[in-house]
Structure 1
Amino acid sequence: MTNLHLLAADTPDLEVIAAAVQDGIFQIGQTRFDAEGRSFTLRLSRYMHESSAPMRIESGLRFDGVLKVRSQGVAQDKAEAYAVVLNLKFEETDSPAGQINLTLAGGGVIQIEVEAIDVTLADIGEPRKTKNFPAHDG
């Protein structure tokens, strides 16, 4: 199976990355906002929805052209806590600028204010089997 390396420059591209990172798990302390470099990154254990067997792979998710990062319902003081990605969604404010909302299970959201959509997802290493797989209502 080939590792993913996806780039998003518009809303349809971002929707592809959103589908790929859904159910990804990351530690709150594994997020980094580089104000000088205008980037926000996180390392996550991505559930491989594209695999027929339950698999996970370590992945990097990078947002460029970042102006500001805020969060709601995210325990920033608990760096060891884990969060699960539900969705990524872009809300345009002043084209091409806007806000990317990284929605988390449990109601948290990380709001990433960007100059434009510029997001990269890259798998790192080899896939591994997992006994835990997502179960969605509906």
Structure 2
Amino acid sequence: MPRPALPLRLSALDENDLQTISATLQDAVAQLGDFEFSRSARTFTLALNRFRWEGGGRNERVRTGLQIAQVTGAWSQNLRQGADDAVVNLLSVGFESSDAPSGVVVLVFSGGGELRLSVECLEAVMIDISAPWPASSRPEHEAE
């Protein structure tokens, strides 16, 4: 009998930490309605269904929350505003330093979509919030 999956909890305070979160969230899918920017709390929160790359060969997804803190502004490109049911596929999460420790967290989606979050400093938390469930397939990438 397989062991139950333990929920992942990752935090990022620098670019190296964020690379780990980015790799973990690669190929996560989400609806735009599950993105929320709180100006008063200065947070941007996303709920995603991520593929469990650490699943030991099993094709599973798990509901995961990602919260970016210290957000001073948010901009998007090629993401349909108001299309809450639109599904996006996350490719990567990166950080562009501007005036250390501030910078921009950049979330890149397939199809050319991009979300840019201006932050005072890098502070991100990713937490699995559900039990895993079977996925119909494993994400594939073309060889370059």
TM-score (norm 2): 0.94
- Stretches of structure 2 that go unaligned for 5 or more consecutive residues are none
1:45 equivalent in structure 2: 49
- Give ranges in structure 1 of 5+ residues lacking alignment: none
Match of 1:23 among 16, 24, 27: 27
Q: Secondary structure at the match of 2:16?
A: helix
Counterparts of 1:77-92 in structure 2 under 5 Å?
A: 77-92=82-97
Residue 118 of structure 1 pairs with residue 123 of structure 2: yes
What's the secondary structure of 1:131's corresponding residue? Answer: coil
Give the Cα–Cα distance (whole angstroms) in 2 for the partners of residues 58 and 132 of structure 1: 16
Query: Residue 60 in 1 paired to residue 65 in 2?
Result: yes
Letter in 2 for 1:53: R
Match of 1:11 in 2: 15
Give the equivalent residue in structure 2 for 1:134: 139
2:26 equivalent to 1:34: no
Q: 1:72 aligns with which of 68, 77, 81?
A: 77
% identity of equivalent residues: 33
Structure whose residues are more often strand by fraction? 1
How many Å apart are 1:2 and its aligned residue?
1.2
